[in-house]
Amino acid sequence: MCRPRRGPRPIMRAQAAGGNACQMENPSRAVDHGLVARRCPPYICAMENKRPSLPARLLRLPPRVNLVRLQGMIAARASGTLSDAAVAPLLERAFRAGRPQAVALAINSPGGSPVQSSLIAARIRRLAEETRTPVHAFVEDAAASGGYWLAAAADDIHCDACSVLGSIGVIYAGFGLQELIARNGIERRVHTAGRSKSQLDMFRPEKPEDVARLETLMGQMHETFIAHVRERRGTRLSTETDLFDGTFWLGAEAVQLGLADGIGHLRPVLQARYGKRVRVVTYGMRRPLLSRLGLQQAAGQMADAAFDLAEERALRARLGV
């Protein structure tokens, strides 16, 4: 049951039916701050009364919320992209430093690697449960595909009216260049041990059995993604619309479909929940030393960075952001 709060936070009470949903006694005010009038996630209901640390209580320090910025394409290969290895130390500090009342995630990602998305989301949930800390996600331009995988790891999701959310699907894209090299008199020579070792080679015609195998693997990844979203969002998801066909929506419609909990920005929502004096401490990924000094990176690093930037821009272009 959610207990009444003093101060600027909306007062909430459990529904008479005894369910997990909580109602706000001032719905108009809740809408102003982007909060959901229809329910409070059960995990938040159980934990948002977490006591501050002893020094904070003695010194009457304001409530502390640690913020982690998750921005960019999700991939394991280069600096500047989101990967489990890159964000692990940030998440560890955010959940443990200063005994925060909550951890907020500022998400701006068009997606990327399903494996890295799964690893980061699993780490968020593991730390949240170990420290009994609620997690709030705030979507900026986009939380699409793998970006939404990360957002769904939070206990509630808020977004801007123009944010892009969804794209719950799996995509594989490539080129077929076999006719190009044939016209230019180039012969492709590949020798393998294993019948399927060179499947989906862009310099050879596609084989139906290779495409069928790829579709099976993509289907398995898609089911894993769907299971994660259903587990995290539960009954908040709409049952009248197919949310898992790869479609993406803007913020207001995403709220109606249950993919997000409200239209609201980070600081107003946190102030409404934790009070006007809430202190937000930000943790973000650091740029490489040479980049921070304005010095040129090695040629290999520059090529990797250029490739990642081009791929991220292609992903964002699909979303119109």
CATH code for the domain in which residue 182 is found: 3.90.226.10
Asked whether residue 5 is assigned to any structural domain, the reply reads no
Asked whether residue 148 is assigned to any structural domain, the reply reads yes
The average pLDDT across 43-47 equals 47
Which tokens belong to 213?
Answer: 């195998």
Asked whether residue 60 is assigned to any structural domain, the reply reads yes
Given this model, what pLDDT does residue 41 score? 52
Tell me which DSSP letter residue 287 carries. P
Asked whether residue 6 is assigned to any structural domain, the reply reads no
Choose between 204 and 46: higher pLDDT.
204
The average pLDDT across 201-207 equals 88
* CB contact at 8 A, 274 and 52: no
- Give the helix ranges, DSSP H, for 75-194: 84-96, 114-131, 146-151, 178-183
Looking at the structure of the chain, the number of domains it has is 1
Give me the domain span that covers residue 306: 12-319
Asked whether residue 4 is assigned to any structural domain, the reply reads no
Choose between 2 and 232: higher pLDDT.
232
pLDDT reading at 140 higher than 80: yes
* Percent of the chain whose pLDDT exceeds 70: 69
Asked whether residue 7 is assigned to any structural domain, the reply reads no
Does this model's pTM top 0.85? My answer is no
The pLDDT tens digits of the residues spanning 79-105 come to 668 999 999 999 999 999 999 999 999
Asked whether residue 3 is assigned to any structural domain, the reply reads no
